Amino acid sequence: MGVIRDLPADRIDDLLRTAIVGRIACGGHGGGEDARPYLVPIAFGYDGKSVFAHSGPGRKLRLMRENPLVTFEVDRAEAADHWESVIIEGLFEEIPDGPERDEALRAIYKPPKQLPDLGIFTVVYRIRAVTRTGRYERPA
């Protein structure tokens, strides 16, 4: 068993900039299946302030439109007592077509990758960070 500590701000940024897949939790209100939080992995980009991603129509997008309060998590682990994780509590915002959308996609698809043709039904969005926290554990 190791010791769990707060992850410093520079290491929070490093993890968010280098990880490829994170998890977004949304929903958790209403009745039926919407009463349970919905957790799903996403590929993402990060610019130091917001997480960027895109999605086609479906449950995740519907839930975030209904309730823009979301939580995003990313982690990296080498062993049960050697890991780090970051949690962002934030606000879902759709990004309309135009230069801001292209900038968001460049955060996800870093050069030299070309921006993909996502189709007319794909929504590009950001999770604007309200709070960021991180923890890590190392062997004692």
Q: Which of 112, 116, 125, 122 is nearest to 50 (CA)?
A: 125
Query: How big is the CA angle at 74 (ends 72 and 77), to the nearest 5 degrees?
Result: 155
Q: How far is CA 32 from CA 36, 63, 66, 130, in A?
A: 8, 13, 15, 28
The CA distance from 76 to 71, in Å, is: 17
Categorize the per-residue pLDDT at 104 as very low, low, confident or very high, splitting at 50, 70 and 90: very high
What gap in Å lies between CA 52 and CA 1, rounded to an integer? 35
125: confidence class by pLDDT, cuts 50, 70, 90? very high
* pLDDT at res. 113: 87
Structural domains of the chain sorted by starting position, each given as residue range(s) with its CATH number in brackets: 2-134 (2.30.110.10)
**β-strands 2-6, 21-27: how paired?**
unpaired
Could you count the other beta carbons within 10 Å of the beta carbon of residue 116? 11
pLDDT at 17: 96
Query: Token digits for 29?
Result: 């209100």
116 versus 44: which is more confidently predicted?
Answer: 44
Strand partners, 93: 126
- In tens, the pLDDT along 17-48 reads 999 999 999 987 766 777 788 999 999 999 99
